[in-house]
Amino acid sequence: MFRITETVRFCYGHRLMEYVGKCARLHGHNARVEIVLEAGRLDPRGFVMDFDQLEATARRWIDDTLDHRLFLRHDDPLCAVLEAQGEVFVKLPHNPTAEHFAEMIFRHLAREGLPVVRVRFHETDTSVAEYAPTP
Ligand SMILES: [Zn+2]
């Protein structure tokens, strides 16, 4: 079994609802995402997947959909204020936690056909959430 890991960084803002702690305040993070791919056999070039292709595929989507965006739960009172101002933000059906970011990124890459087996989402240097589907 072969595994490769690609790291992508991006910046985002959020705040959590029904939560007491720093992430209850509107703020931002510099996220680091580790994307782990797996293959039982290498392709004819000797790759699980070309790092350049993986980096371009993952980074393009992250840049286009996640980077420098504000993520709020759908019932956050800020949503109405920002919508009235015409501000760009992303409304989610759940709290924008590191766990949900890890799952969101995993599901997108899997839909794109990448042999992803795990996404580790570093919200900070010391706090990491991981998503891997149950076998
Ligand atoms: Zn936070």
**Complete DSSP assignment for 99-121:** HHHHHHHHHHHHHTT--EEEEEE
Is 16:97 a contact under the CB 8 Å cutoff?
yes
Chain centre distance of CA 14: 13
Q: What per-residue confidence (pLDDT) applies to 20?
A: 95
Q: What per-residue confidence (pLDDT) applies to 16?
A: 97
Q: What per-residue confidence (pLDDT) applies to 51?
A: 94
Q: How far apart are CA 30 and CA 124, in angstroms?
A: 7
Q: What per-residue confidence (pLDDT) applies to 135?
A: 78
Rounded to the nearest whole angstrom, what is the distance from the C-alpha of residue 124 to the centroid of ligand 1? Answer: 9
Stretches where the chain sits below pLDDT 50 are none
- Label residue 32 exposed, middle or buried (CB < 10 Å: 0-12, 13-18, 19+): middle
Rounded to the nearest whole angstrom, what is the distance from the C-alpha of residue 103 to the centroid of ligand 1? Answer: 17
Rounded to the nearest whole angstrom, what is the distance from the C-alpha of residue 109 to the centroid of ligand 1? Answer: 24
Domain 2-67+97-131: homologous superfamily in CATH: 6-pyruvoyl tetrahydropterin synthase/QueD (3.30.479.10)
Q: What per-residue confidence (pLDDT) applies to 54?
A: 92
Rounded to the nearest whole angstrom, what is the distance from the C-alpha of residue 16 to the centroid of ligand 1? Answer: 7
Closest of 119, 124, 131, 132 to residue 33, by C-alpha: 119
As residues whose CB is below 5 A from the ion ligand 1, the structure lists 23
The structural domains of the chain, with segments of one domain joined by +, span 2-67+97-131
Q: How far apart are CA 87 and CA 104, in angstroms?
A: 23
Residue 93, CA distances (Å) to 10, 16, 30, 44, 78 in order: 22, 12, 22, 42, 14
pLDDT digits (tens, 9 = 90+) for 99-122: 999 999 999 999 999 999 999 999
pTM for this model (two decimals) = 0.94
